[in-house]
Each structure stands twice: as C-alpha cells, then as structure tokens.
C-alpha cells in the first residue's frame, strides 16, 4: 500500500535531549513537509523540502532541524533548543508542482511528550 | 495580515441534522481553498478543494463547500450528519505560487449527539 509512515506513534523524551521523528513515504512524491499541531492552534509549518538535498524553513523552524538525503525520507530532529516541544507532529508529502498546488497527503502523526 | 479564520471552536449537532462549518480568509487574491478532517490522534484527510470554476464543490463523505468571493468565505456543509462525522475539521489555504505552503485555520471540533 502506498502511503506515509511516521514512527513512533508516541515518543517520550527528557528535557535537554534531542529526539528524531521519522517520516517515510512510498508515493514517489518530491515534496515533503513537517507540521506541528497544538490544541486550539491548528497546524503550523516547521520545515518543507521540495527536492532531495534541499529544504526551507517554515513559520516555526526555531529549535528544529531536518535532512533530506533520500526522496522517500524526511526526518525531523527536535533539539533541546525547542522551548516547548510537547505537541503532535504531522508529516505530509505532495507531488512537486511548478506553479500549481498539489494536494498534500498526511501521515498518522507522532505525539511527542517531554517529561 | 493574511489569515484563515474558523470562528466556531466547537459545534454540536444531532445525528441527521444539517451542518455548516464556517471559514473566512484574509488574502489579497483568491487562494486555493481546502477542507480537511482529522479523527482523534490521526492524520488529516482531504475532504474537498477549490481551485477555480464552479463555486460549489463536492467532496467525499457527502460534504460540499461553497466559495463566496464577496464574503471571502469557504463554508463546509453536509445535509445530514452521521455519528461517524464527529471529528475536527480544518480549513486551509495556499496562495498561488507559494510552493504549496498550506496555512490552516484553528479548527472546529464537531460533536454529534444521537
């Protein structure tokens, strides 16, 4: 089945530790995205990548880092510099388009809790 | 400032009743418009989208939405709600030529009573 996989579903981390969230897609999509979701705030874009080895900051990139070494993978690292990391993290992907928008498909999410 | 507003945080309807969820946007030009649904602890699923053309768009699960340029609105409707429609609904927009960067509203949580 084609789709987006995020692992783990639940993640606990101690304060001061970095943690990496996995996102894999087998849809052959060029573009991938990371969003953060907090209650009452909708989704906010952290980072996005339109092509391998290239990525751009979104609206709330501080305290996060990403890499895009393979087309199908876009891991997100939540660093100790992120002041309030407890949230639900969603990964998405889309066919990269030139000027037109392409639908984003979402993974099931990872809930990160900082203890 | 550019924004997407969903004025209703929480709505409760009876099963079988009609539903309308409101969405307003504030942009200089008409963006692409979307409605997504999220079940608890899950990812988002696209219900419908509007790019251009007919202002009444049909989506999955019996949902429809109407784009009204004069009101900068894109309200989601369903004639008869089912208990399984209980979820959180997000309106989202993307400006043309902005690398598919979605901007989401804060969401409306729908509760369905039997």
> In this model, does residue A110 exceed pLDDT 90?
yes
pLDDT, position B68 = 94
CB contact under 8 A, A42 and B41: no
* CB < 8 Å to B105, chain A: 42
- pLDDT confidence bin for A97, thresholds 50/70/90: low
Pairing of strands B103-104, B87-94: antiparallel
> How many residues in chain A?
115
**Rounded percentage of chain A residues whose pLDDT exceeds 90:** 76
Mean residue pLDDT across chain A: 91
Q: Considering only CB atoms, which chain A residues are within 8 Å of B46?
A: 103-105
pLDDT in tens, A39-86: 888 899 999 998 999 999 999 999 999 999 999 999 999 998 888 999
Both tokens of B53, joined, read: 């053309």
Q: What is the pLDDT of residue A100?
A: 54
User: Which residue did the predictor score with more confidence, B86 or A97?
Assistant: B86
B89 CB within 8 Å of a chain A CB: no
Please report the pLDDT score of residue B41 as a whole number.
Answer: 84
CA distance to B32, B44, B99, B106, per residue, from B103 (Å): 10, 14, 12, 10
The single-letter DSSP state of residue B52 is S
High-pLDDT (> 90) share of chain B, %: 75
Burial class (CB in 10 A: 0-12, 13-18, 19+), A10: exposed
pLDDT attached to residue B100 = 67
Residue of B nearest to A5 (CA): B43
Nearest C-alpha neighbor of B43 from the set A2, A49, A34: A34
A84, A36 contact by CB (below 8 A):
no
Nearest to B89 by CA among B1, B15, B10: B10
Chain CA centroid to CA B51, Å: 14
Phi, psi at residue A46, to the nearest 5°? -95, -60
Q: CA torsion sign, A51 to A71 to A23 to B87?
A: positive
Chain B residue at shortest CA distance from A109: B43
| pLDDT mean values, one per 10 residues, chain B (114 residues) | 88 97 87 92 92 92 95 96 96 76 92 95
Confidence check: pLDDT of A99 > 60: no
- How close A56 gets to chain B, by Cα (Å)? 10
pLDDT of residue B111: 97
Which residues does B90 contact at the CB level (< 8 Å), separation at least 6?
Answer: A42, A43, B6, B35, B36, B37, B38, B44, B104, B105, B107, B108
Mean of pLDDT values over A7-26? 94
């Amino acid at each position: 089945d084609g789709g987006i996989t995020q692992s783990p579903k639940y993640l606990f981390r101690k304060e001061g530790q970095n943690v990496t969230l996995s996102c894999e897609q087998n849809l052959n999509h060029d573009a991938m995205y990371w969003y953060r979701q907090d209650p009452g705030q909708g989704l906010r874009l952290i980072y996005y990548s339109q092509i391998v080895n290239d990525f751009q900051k979104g609206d709330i990139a501080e305290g996060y880092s990403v890499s895009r070494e393979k087309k199908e993978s876009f891991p997100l690292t939540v660093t100790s510099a992120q002041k309030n990391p407890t949230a639900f993290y969603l990964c998405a992907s889309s066919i990269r388009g030139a000027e037109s928008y392409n639908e984003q498909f979402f993974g099931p999410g990872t809930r990160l809790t900082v203890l | 400032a550019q924004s997407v507003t969903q004025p209703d945080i929480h709505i409760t309807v009876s099963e079988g009743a009609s539903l309308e969820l409101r969405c307003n946007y504030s942009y200089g030009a008409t963006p692409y418009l979307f409605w997504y649904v999220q079940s608890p602890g899950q990812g988002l699923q696209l219900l419908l989208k509007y790019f251009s053309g007919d202002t009444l768009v049909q989506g999955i699960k019996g949902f429809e939405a109407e784009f009204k340029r004069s009101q900068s609105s894109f309200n989601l409707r369903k004639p008869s709600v089912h208990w399984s429609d209980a979820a959180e609904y997000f309106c989202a927009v993307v400006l043309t030529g902005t690398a598919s960067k979605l901007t989401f509203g804060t969401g409306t949580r729908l509760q369905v009573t039997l």
